[in-house]
Each structure stands twice: as C-alpha cells, then as structure tokens.
Amino acid sequence: MKRNLTGLLLVILGLGFARLNAVAAENKEEARFLSNTRQLIFEGKRSGEGYFSPDGKTLIFQSEREADNPFYQIYALDLTSGDIHRISPGTGKTTCSFFRPGNDEVIFASTHLDPKAREKQKAELDFRASGKERRYLWDYDETMDIFSAKRDGSNLRQLTKSNGYDAEGSYSPDGSKIVFCSLRAAYPLENLSAEDRKHYETDPSYFGDIYLMEADGSNQ
C-alpha cells in the first residue's frame, strides 16, 4: 500500500512539474513579443476586450462581476488611482466598448432594452448554479444595439434600432463617425430563403456586414 501511495505521489509530482515546464515554455514564447506585462483586472469571473483612452489614462473593458447578472457589463479603470466604475446600465449583456477621440463619450453594445433581459440573466445564473459549464459561443443576440454615453454612464443614448445584432463599433480617428457590424440584412427572418435560413441557424455571422454612421447615429 505504501509503495502504491509513493508511486501515485511521484505521478502527481511529475504531472505538476510537466505543467510548470509547459507554462514556463509558454511564457518564454510570449516574451519574444511582449515585455513588462502586468495584470490590471483582478475582480470578477472574467474580463476582457480592454481599450485605452486616447490620452492613455483610462482603460475601458467588459467584465462579469455583478452578483445578479452573469453577463458582461462595461467598466472604466482609472490607471492612476486604480478606481473602477461601471458605465453600462447593469442589465442584460454588453460588449464592444470604445472611447470617442476628443470627447467625453464612449460607445458600447447592449441588450438592456430587451424585455426578457432579466429573465435571461436568471436562466443563466440557474444554469451555472447547477454546476454545468458552457463552451464559449457568441450568440449574436438580436436585441443587441449600440449606445453612446458619457464616461460616467450618464447621457445614455441609443444609436441603432434595426432588427438584429448591432455591435462591434469603433470611432473614426476624428470621432465623427462610427463603423460597426450589423446582421440587419437577415431580417425579417421569415423572408429568408430555406438556404439562407439554414445559414442563419448554423452561423448568424454569415449575414454580418460592415456599416458606417455618424457619431450621433444618423446616416446609417
């Protein structure tokens, strides 16, 4: 029995060292391209898609950290003080935030106007509480629209109102225009051919097109 335990311990230690060696190799490979890397976000289940403000003093990012909402919300990190505050309303899903050059505004995509937003939050919380895990899959929520707001979250304005997913927006260098992705060409779904309906059900991004609009949402 003692010999078996010793053997098991050696196997576990061997696996641990193998993992450490693999991590070291990954870090060495990463160091070829990146230096002085630092972790900026520590709270929340996951965070990502961060962008620096034009002056480099603030980071805007999405994070899952609200107790009653399992989906991403948009936050701003003051890189001097370390203070973090939420910009988005706190309901529904959000993604794709960006700073407007020369202005105090930001844009992001959100589903907070979806009448079923809180219902979807509860369903996801219940699913996670069951101990199950989903593989990563972007769902191209058809209630996703683009909004602008001040950096403190005030003056929230809806910029897109078409049927289907509108997101992934970025400002032009002068801040006058927004380029974004939209699946509006797929709607109404009942008008799609059988072949196109199959495309939509298999991969909605098949209908993704690039659109341009003014910063106030006009001329789409």
Residue 122 contacts residue 54 (beta carbons within 8 Å):
no
Q: What is the pLDDT of residue 60?
A: 98
Q: What is the pLDDT of residue 34?
A: 84
Residue 192 DSSP one-character state: S
Edge-to-edge strand ranges of the sheet holding 209-214: 166-171, 177-182, 209-214
Half-sphere exposure of 70 (CA within 13 A, CB side): 13
11 has pLDDT over 50: no
Give the residue extent of every domain in the chain. Answer: 1-37, 43-214
Q: What is the pLDDT of residue 6?
A: 53
Question: Please, which residues bridge with residue 44 across strands?
Answer: none
Q: What is the pLDDT of residue 137?
A: 73
Q: What is the pLDDT of residue 121?
A: 96
Q: Model confidence over 17-35: pLDDT tens digits?
A: 555 455 455 667 777 888 8
Q: Closest Cα to residue 124, out of 139, 145, 109, 108? A: 139
Q: Which of 53-62, 76-85, 129-138 has the lowest mean pLDDT?
A: 129-138
Q: What is the mean pLDDT of residues 132-151?
A: 90
Q: Model confidence over 174-207: pLDDT tens digits?
A: 999 999 999 999 999 999 999 999 999 999 999 9
| Domain 43-214, CATH class in plain words | mainly beta
Pull the structure tokens for residue 171. 């400002």
Q: What is the pLDDT of residue 39?
A: 87
**Bridging pattern class, strands 105-110 and 145-150:** antiparallel
| pTM of the predicted model as reported, rounded to 2 decimal places | 0.84
